[in-house]
Amino acid sequence: MLERLSEMRKRLLKGQLALSEKKAASLSRLLKGYDNERLKLQGDYVEVMRLMGEAARSELSDEAASKHLEKYNDVINKLYELRGRHFKEVRKLLTPSEMVRYMAIEQMLQRQLQMNLRGADRPSGKGGPGGR
């Protein structure tokens, strides 16, 4: 899945941003590292939310609830820190106008990735509009 995202991103960066092959390759290398790190953190987030959902349906001491909240806060802080580093590093490579266009492309790619991930979780023919 990450390879498809990487290839789609590369095509969009070269096409819509009109980046040179060299600049697009540099940006792709940088982003690949962030993709791997973000994917791991998103997995951590899903796991924390699953655990919090289970905890919410059971008797929970304040001490146990605090531990769940600390884990949640830790993952969220890491995701925001990663987003900040990502923005700073990409900004070093792109002009301001390229950066604005890049951010729109990246948002679109992230939305597409989320839709693909949600679709992968559903059995064929079930869920979603018209899937019954």
Q: Where are the domains of the chain?
A: 2-106
The answer to whether 105 and 12 are in contact (CB under 8 A) is: yes
- Among the listed residues 75, 77, 78, 83, the one whose alpha carbon sits nearest the alpha carbon of residue 52: 75
Of 87 and 116, more confident = 87
Domain 2-106 fold? Four Helix Bundle (Hemerythrin (Met), subunit A) (1.20.120)
Give residue 90's identity as a one-letter amino acid code: V
pTM, rounded to two decimals: 0.70
For residue range 5-32, list pLDDT tens digits in order: 677 777 777 777 888 888 888 888 888 8
Sign of the four-CA dihedral 114, 117, 121, 122: positive
For residue range 45-70, list pLDDT tens digits in order: 999 999 999 988 988 889 988 999 99
Residues 6+ apart with CB under 8 A from 51: 68, 71
Give the H/E segment covering residue 83. Answer: helix 62-93
